[in-house]
Structure 1
Amino acid sequence: MCPDCIYCKEAFDKEGIKYEFIDINSDLKLFKEFLKLRDNSPVFDICKEKGYIGIPAIVSEDGKISLDTEEYLAEIKETNVKVIEDTEPDNWPVTKEEIVKALTEIRLTRADNVMVHASLSKLGYVCGGAQTVIEAIMETVGDEGSIM
């Protein structure tokens, strides 16, 4: 395996990013699929010009292709770190349903990984306290997700 692919794999593992690793060297069919992707995507043009293979190629669920592990990780962190704004006093008390709604609005979905570091005072008075917050997150990410 190429050193850049090893680095990418280790970085994803360290960050807890779920991914499917496809070893294009293990099967000619997989290699052909990669070449088709590479030949038809302008993202790889610079690689082809310089004589590089274009791996690791990180293909997101939305089809976006990235060839830079560090850039991809920075983008993931930027888009996945969301903050629920302070609750205004006139909105107290905060309910589980309101927390679930807020989490959904920031695009938290099933199977997401969530790192929780919060002060309840930032949310306002939460009916049921911290347990309610955790239950709301669990409801949003489901059994497929994880909470740290």
Structure 2
Amino acid sequence: MLTNMRFLNDNDYKKVIRQWIKNLISYESEDVLEDAELAAQSEMETYLVSRYDTQAIFNTGQEPEQRSALIVMYLVDMALYHLHANIQPNDVPEVRENRYKQAISWLKDVAAGKISPVLPVKVIVPGEDNTGNIALGCNPKVSERF
């Protein structure tokens, strides 16, 4: 579940990209940057939502040091990839493409249960509709009898 507030902040980018390059690829527009971040966050949530509480993970009210360093790092990599792809999709810098692929690989391993990061686990409440949780075996039984 996405919110309209940014999860990432400008300091999160300083470790991996120079400010002037970030300004250049985002057209010095907060809207362009925010759109790339939200696209990356939405993409990341698709891998995490079946096992983890994505609302708690991406809580924008958290202090920066309370956020998962891995989530922040991979989300920055994914957002930067989307920003570069927005400019020239066929000519994304190799470092951005590699870091994006590494992020997706990590997310696939998390979704498959091969990696268990320290993140808030999704709580399944008995009596609630959990039909979308295939990984947790909560789909309703289907009869093939007529």
TM score, norm. by length of structure 1: 0.27
* Greater strand proportion: 1
Greater relative contact order structure (CA < 8 Å, 6+ sep)? 2
Q: Max radius of gyration: which structure?
A: 1
